[in-house]
Amino acid sequence: MTPSEVPQTSGGRSGRLAAGSLEALLENARLLHSSLELEDLLRSLLRSVMGRLVVTRGLLALIEGDPSTSKVETVAVSRGFRDLPVGSLFDAEHCRTLGAEHLLPIGDPHHPVGHLALGRPIKGELADQDLEFLEALLGIAAGAIANARAHQQARALNRQLDQRVQQLRTLLDLGRSLTSTLEASQVAQALGLTLAGQWLLRRYAVVAWNGDASPVQRLKGMKIPAAAEIREELGALAGPAAIEELPQGALRSALEAQEAELVVPLLSGDKVVGLVVLGAPAGQRTFEAGDRDFLAGLAAQAVVAFENAWYFEETLQREKMERDLALAGEIQQRLFPTELPQPTGFGLAAHNRPASQVGGDYYDVLSVSSGENQRYLICVADISGKGMAASLLMSNLQATLRALLDTEPDLAGLVLRTSRLLYATTPASKYATAFFLLLDPRTGACRYVNAGHNEGLVVRRDGTIEEMTATGFPVGLMGIGEYRAEEFRLEPGDCVALYSDGVNEANDQDEQEFGMDRLKAALVKRRKKSAQDIVDGLFEEVDAFATGAPQYDDITALVAKRF
């Protein structure tokens, strides 16, 4: 309604308004129409009515919404009617019983926008002139009220529009920030700050789960139960939900106890990879109907960023692990002797080829001095498992052997002490099969302990082969047990070959094994060559057999030959 469409007042009395009243009316009309704030307008209307007619009690009630359909009428301004405060329901009869003497409609009497109620004037009765003035004034007021209401609505619409724009800005801002973030904790932070600012939150929680890794969290005055405790309830979450919409369970009771209001799942497809929990907004803010879609939008952006961050993290970790492995492999290779001792009358050669960067095979040749008598401890070992753990045990084995070597004159005793030490310092799943050979180069006399290792092979000058089978359990496997030392002698032209199962178990393309027969034949064929040639030849044959099939196990071979 525009000011020009002021409803006509009823009756024909308006023409008889006194000049003074007209002036007052004009002034009031100006005043009313100058105010677009409904509350101010109503207050000033009531004030001028009460002032002019000298009444001490008055109130204005307005019908909520459209007067032609709505019946709900509430008190908008109240002066002196203590039992009818602002916001209370207005009822004409009730109002009369509380002392209202005059009840006048505002605007069209058939469809008024509200009512004016007045208590008894100080001077007693109201004159006709006063009533005429009131009718005219209320007619003008109806127009002004309609105006103010239209203005109020327009403002509310504008505000809504501004808020939508702000939501869009927020989405854009978060998205822009997240694209440059590669750390999950920063994603949680950006999301948390955005939520806090958008809804004036003091208490909220963001948690994101990446498999079994410890969750990424940002907790502000709230906690979220561990994923394992609420797995079932998480599965049922398809979008933002109020706490009272959740099924009964650990999640709901935990969130209720913390007075959470909304829960927003972070969804990757159907899978819940995280959770956002929001406490109550501060001040005048509340969660509104449209907020859920907006929250779902923010959550979707965060999920993409979380997944990017996790992927990046994994890639980094993989690269780091590869670097670590390469480093460990380098260190391990240095544990192998760079040059084998060559005792008088003997040739020694060995080679190791790990299957991966870090291997589990080990060989060593240590000199054992006891007076004039220089002997050599030759060792080939295969550590259980592969990778870092195996390489650690390998260096452990080497250090233990070296430390004990000069304190334990007896070979079987040395192996037993080594085994016990390894058993005590490593998990039971870590052990090593090993072949220990003590060579006296002056006589060719050999003592050996085979601790659960492959048969050592003695290749005689005439091509016959003797096998040296196990004489005890693998070292480090058990804390108890005995090792038996056996003896033999290498005559001129004889050689002994020690190796790991990577040799005889090498596979070809059809997963056939190289086998002991080929191994023995390769040794016999080359028995007249040097130790180095025998070792090299053996590797050549294994490679020719495998013809490019992947090497699954470390390959180690060591040959000692008496000239």
Partner 1 sequence: MAENFSIEATDEGDLTTVALGGYLDAHTAPEFEATLQERIDAGRVRIVVDCGALEYISSAGLGVFMGFIEDLRDAGGDLKISGLIPKVREVFELLGFDALFEIYDDRAAAAGSFASAAAG
| List of residues contacting partner 1 (CB under 8 A) | 159, 162-163, 166, 169-170, 173-174, 176-178, 180, 186, 189-190, 192-198, 200-202, 220, 282-285
- H or E segment at 436? strand 432-440
3-state secondary structure labels for all residues of 139-182: HHHHHHHHHHHHHHHHHHHHHHHHHHHHHHHHHHHHHHHHHCCC
- H or E segment at 31? helix 19-34
Q: How far is the CB of 282 from partner 1 (least distance, A)?
A: 6
Closest to partner 1 by CB, 304 vs 549, is: 304
Q: How far is the CB of 161 from partner 1 (least distance, A)?
A: 11
Closest to partner 1 by CB, 198 vs 398, is: 198
Q: Mapping DSSP to helix (H, G, I), strand (E, B) and coil, where does residue 386 land?
A: coil
Dist. CA 175–CA 132, nearest whole Å: 64
Quick one: tokens of 550? Answer: 């992947």
Q: How many other C-beta atoms can be found within 10 angstroms of the C-beta atom of residue 270?
A: 7
Closest to partner 1 by CB, 216 vs 557, is: 216
Q: How far is the CB of 43 from partner 1 (least distance, A)?
A: 22
Closest to partner 1 by CB, 16 vs 285, is: 285
533 phi and psi angles, rounded to 5 deg: -65, -40
Q: Angle CA(494)–CA(497)–CA(503) in degrees, nearest 5?
A: 150
Q: How far is the CB of 271 from partner 1 (least distance, A)?
A: 25
Half-sphere exposure of 423 (CA within 13 A, CB side): 16
Q: How far is the CB of 174 from partner 1 (least distance, A)?
A: 5
Q: In the structure, how many helices (H) and strands (E) does the chain have?
A: 13, 19
Dist. CA 280–CA 259, nearest whole Å: 8
Closest to partner 1 by CB, 48 vs 163, is: 163
Closest CA to 333 of 273, 395, 279: 395
Dist. CA 390–CA 500, nearest whole Å: 14
Q: How far is the CB of 327 from partner 1 (least distance, A)?
A: 34
Q: How many other C-beta atoms can be found within 10 angstroms of the C-beta atom of residue 409?
A: 10
In angstroms, what is the C-alpha Rg of the chain? 48
Closest to partner 1 by CB, 175 vs 537, is: 175
Distance of CA 284 to the CA centre of its chain: 33
Q: How far is the CB of 225 from partner 1 (least distance, A)?
A: 23
Dist. CA 220–CA 423, nearest whole Å: 49
Closest to partner 1 by CB, 178 vs 519, is: 178
Closest to partner 1 by CB, 190 vs 495, is: 190
Q: Angle CA(389)–CA(393)–CA(394) in degrees, nearest 5?
A: 115
Closest to partner 1 by CB, 138 vs 196, is: 196
Q: How far is the CB of 193 from partner 1 (least distance, A)?
A: 3
Between the CA of residue 57 and those of 92, 115, 283, what are the distances in Å?
A: 15, 14, 34
Half-sphere exposure of 114 (CA within 13 A, CB side): 28
Q: How far is the CB of 332 from partner 1 (least distance, A)?
A: 43
Q: How far is the CB of 159 from partner 1 (least distance, A)?
A: 7
Closest to partner 1 by CB, 190 vs 475, is: 190
- For CA atoms 37, 41, 47, 52, give the dihedral sign: positive
Closest to partner 1 by CB, 190 vs 255, is: 190
Collect all residues with Cβ–Cβ distance below 8 Å to 226 and sequence separation of at least 6: none
Dist. CA 234–CA 97, nearest whole Å: 58
Closest to partner 1 by CB, 162 vs 487, is: 162
Dist. CA 98–CA 93, nearest whole Å: 9
Closest to partner 1 by CB, 10 vs 286, is: 286
Q: How far is the CB of 181 from partner 1 (least distance, A)?
A: 8
Dist. CA 205–CA 195, nearest whole Å: 10
Q: How far is the CB of 421 from partner 1 (least distance, A)?
A: 50
Q: Which amino acid is it at 69? A: T
Q: How far is the CB of 202 from partner 1 (least distance, A)?
A: 5
Q: How far is the CB of 207 from partner 1 (least distance, A)?
A: 17
Closest to partner 1 by CB, 34 vs 166, is: 166
